[in-house]
Structure 1
Amino acid sequence: MIAVPTAAAPASSDPPADGPLLFGCVLDGHGGCSNVDWQTAQHWKPAGNEQALWLHLDRVYDGLDDWLEDRLDLSEATAELLLSNETRPRAFCVGESLITVLRGINFNPGAEPEDMIAMQIWCDGQRLITLRRRRLQTPRDIHAELIAGNGPSSIGDLFTWLLEQMVAKMSHAIVDMNDHIDAMEDQSEDERDTDAMLTKIADIRRNCLALKRYMSPQHEALQHIQKSPPSWLTEDNLADIRETGERLARYLDDLDVSKESALVLQDDLNNRAAAKMNQTMYMLSIVAAIFLPLGFITGLLGINVGGMPGVDSGYAFWLTVGMLAVMMGLQFWIFRKLKWL
């Protein structure tokens, strides 16, 4: 199996396209390759059993559907699938040709992780064609390994490498979400900005749902390849695909854990906010309960009606204040007795 980089590097800019060709190469069977242009690629034929052709195409190129149907002898429905922008991950065989639709993490600047990029793959055991609309990092990484002489040696290995790296790079988005959740959980009560944290948690939950939307069918596609593989996939290739499927299953479990952790943290924040509000409302209720009878008495003594007691007495005010103080003390005693305070 290939060694997957521990961190995602930014994808380099694509060179000017040669027709629909972003890059093309012929595998030499020893981990290296020689690049080919579009004209050479269209008429390429293997010079030996070890040679294989890989073309990485821009699927928005005009007339590419006609080339797929005429040169590769594909049906109109298959050609349409390979050029579609809105595709669900899947895999199926037509004879010895394997058609696979994958989704990879979008590492383009300003992109969200859940905005996964589709890549379609067609392979007949001698030619492998990848098609994409937006820049993808995985094909560039593998092409760089081939140029350095450290790439896949066969068409089956190339197909396996593509699957492995597309899946492996998903871990970066999942780890990033888990790091955000751990950081929020480690914050003290004084450091927490509840509104900002709730917004971040909502984003994480949306990301989990969006990633799972494509990762679940991608796992099913890998299982289908294992059940009905073409003859050009070796036992080692199938073993690697099985391991890739297991890794994807673990990522799906991690997504569920991330979603549940975010939900638990959200519930904790909501419960703390509700408890704080309840405590505030409780204290306001106690204050209102204390001053309600006092306010009633002072309001009653303040009415402008003849015959009010103490109007002509110089001691009536202080007697009233003392009575109110005694009443307040009595209320405090009753509230403490009832364990309200």
Structure 2
Amino acid sequence: MSGFAFVVSRSGVRETTPEEAVRARRGFMWIHLTNRDDHVQLWLRDTAGLEHFVIDALTALETRPRCDQIDGGAVLNLRGKTQAAMQASDPLASVRLFANGDRVISVTRLPLDAIEVTRAAMAAGTILDAGDLIATLAGAITAQLDPEVAELGDSLDACEEQLDPRHAFDLRRKVNHARRTAIGYRRFLYPQRIALENLSSLHVRWLNDDDRLHIAGAADRAARMAEELEAIRERAALIHETLTDLRAELIDQRSLIIAIAAMVFLPLTFITGLFGMNVDGIPYAHHAGSFWVITGFSLAVAAAVTFYFVRRHWFR
């Protein structure tokens, strides 16, 4: 079973294994497990002594951000950035936590970037209790997602500056990518805001005022990102509609040019077809200058038709 653990005691912070942390039984401990092992549920039940409801919450395959109070503890599910390959509809990895005054047990299925940030802070000795740990983790998750959301907005700004029907294919691909990503992020950030707000208002002794302020700040940042993602989704839809309109306008312009060209050559086709018939009685059939007369007449007709369309402003 893979994972790590920290034990905070009077002698300082010590990194160890989950089994040794459970045997320590003194001080605050953080136990982190990777839920890819079949023995995780058994370990949580037999070694950690957790209830079935908590075990199910920590090892569920499908999760969404939530916060539930259990006696003096809390079960918390959050979503954060990961370097693992993810689907556009599910771009964030989950972390499940059970916290009380003496210990925090966290479980992930995929490597979470915020876990490494929290692990470094724990090793540096800046985390001393469960409130500090959860506040640090929540702050790291939102801090890592903020640049991702800002980058999506910047990509749409670039697309708006490059609006051109000739580049419609590439622009639509970029806009669709930004829209799918924004929808995937917003799917989790909105309930994550609610989960963090619920956590900051829990009546538990291991959350002090400073921890609640940090968690509330992370909730506020999550709310701001969710609003920004909603704006990105709407902007992406508007850009897509604009590209469609520009493309349709370009097609109309080209169709107009083709129609004008056809109208210019239509009388010319009639004239050349009439004088090109192989029948007796064609006027000027044996005249020496008939070819140039007909050519000049055709050019005059073409010029007259073109002048008519110019006067009607059909070329604009």
TM (normalized to structure 1)?
0.84
Residue pair 2:102, 2:130 contacting (<8 A) in 1 also: yes
Partner-residue secondary structure (3-state), 2:74: strand
* Pairing partner for 2:25 from 41, 45, 60: 45
Task: Give the match for residue 82 of structure 2.
Answer: 106
* Pairing partner for 2:138 from 135, 152, 163: 163
Q: How many residues align?
A: 314
The Cα of 1:292 is off from its aligned counterpart by: 0.7
- Of structures 1 and 2, the one scoring higher in RCO (CA 8 A, sep 6+) is 1
Residue pair 1:60, 1:83 contacting (<8 A) in 2 also: no
Q: In the alignment, residue 13 of structure 2 is paired with which amino acid?
A: C
Residue pair 1:29, 1:153 contacting (<8 A) in 2 also: no
Task: Give the match for residue 147 of structure 2.
Answer: 172
Partner-residue secondary structure (3-state), 2:62: coil
Q: In the alignment, residue 222 of structure 1 is paired with which amino acid?
A: L
* Pairing partner for 1:34 from 11, 14, 32: 14
Aligned-residue sequence identity (percent) comes to 26
- When the two chains are superposed, the root-mean-square deviation of aligned CA atoms in Å is 2.4
The Cα of 1:252 is off from its aligned counterpart by: 0.8
Distance 1:198 1:240, change over 3 A: same
Unaligned runs of 5+ in 1: 1-18
Q: For 1:126-275, what aligned pairs fall within 5 Å after superposition?
A: 126-149=102-125, 151-187=126-162, 193-275=167-249
User: What is the distance in 1 between the residues matched to 2:10 and 2:67?
Assistant: 26
Task: Give the match for residue 281 of structure 1.
Answer: 255
User: What is the distance in 1 between the residues matched to 2:301 and 2:148?
Assistant: 64
Deviating beyond 6 angstroms after TM superposition, the runs of 4 or more aligned structure 1 residues are: none
Q: In the alignment, residue 26 of structure 1 is paired with which amino acid?
A: V
User: What is the distance in 2 between the residues matched to 1:211 and 1:71?
Assistant: 36
* Pairing partner for 2:44 from 48, 51, 68: 68
Higher helix share: 2
Residue pair 1:85, 1:118 contacting (<8 A) in 2 also: no
Query: Mean Cα displacement is larger for which, 64-73 or 200-209?
Result: 64-73
User: What is the distance in 1 between the residues matched to 2:115 and 2:313?
Assistant: 70
Distance 1:222 1:39, change over 3 A: closer
Task: Give the match for residue 290 of structure 2.
Answer: 316
Unaligned runs of 5+ in 2: none
